[in-house]
Amino acid sequence: MKKFKVAGSIIGILASIVGVYVYLSNDDGGMKLNVKKNDPVTTIEAETKIEKGFEAPISSKVTEEYETMTEGRLIQEVHNMTHQKVKADKKWGSSEITADKVQKLFDVINSKEFKKDSNKQMLLDILAPWIGKDFTNVVSAHNRIWAYQNGNIGKATRPLSPQEELDYIQKEFR
């Protein structure tokens, strides 16, 4: 009786090993790995690529244009930048967010005379956290500008996931 138990255990173990081998094998002779959209590995990779893009140097020609922009164009530039990070039904315009651009915009807006001090303060309030890479205000930032511009289509509903943001960057800027 004891021999049957041992033989049964060995057969069970061998059957399990064969089953696992067959399960992991496919027509290509290897194991397939399906990476899901919210897989932590792809999230980390997306965040790393976004960070590198944020830190990438930008042409001084681009940032020098900020000095001659009107109040309305500066507002639109910040609005366009928010599109990189928010989910909205419609988005018109885009401008990649980089550290150089955020800092230059902040400096130009801070030193520029605005017709409405409330517009200047709105933009400074939006950009100040961005200098420190804090974009937690991006939905409210987008919607403040959107409301100021009397928007009726394209209200931001949530921040984009890192994967969605990376897709947006690759589609719009690469």
Q: What are the tens digits of pLDDT across the range 46-75? A: 999 999 999 988 888 887 899 999 999 999
Please state, in angstroms and rounded to a whole number, the distance separating the CA atoms of residues 130 and 107.
13
In this structure, the answer to whether residues 19 and 46 fall within a common structural domain is no
In this structure, the answer to whether residues 25 and 95 fall within a common structural domain is no
The reply to whether the predicted model has a pTM over 0.85 is no
3-state SS of 46-70? Answer: HHHHHHHHHHCCCCHHHHHHHHHCC
In this structure, the answer to whether residues 98 and 120 fall within a common structural domain is yes
Q: How far is CA 72 from CA 13, 40, 68, 97, 147, in A?
A: 73, 40, 11, 19, 14
Confidence at residue 59, expressed as pLDDT on a 0 to 100 scale: 80
- How does pLDDT run across 17-52, given as a tens digit for each residue? 655 555 545 444 444 434 455 555 588 999 999 999
Give the residue numbers spanning the domain of 61. Answer: 40-173
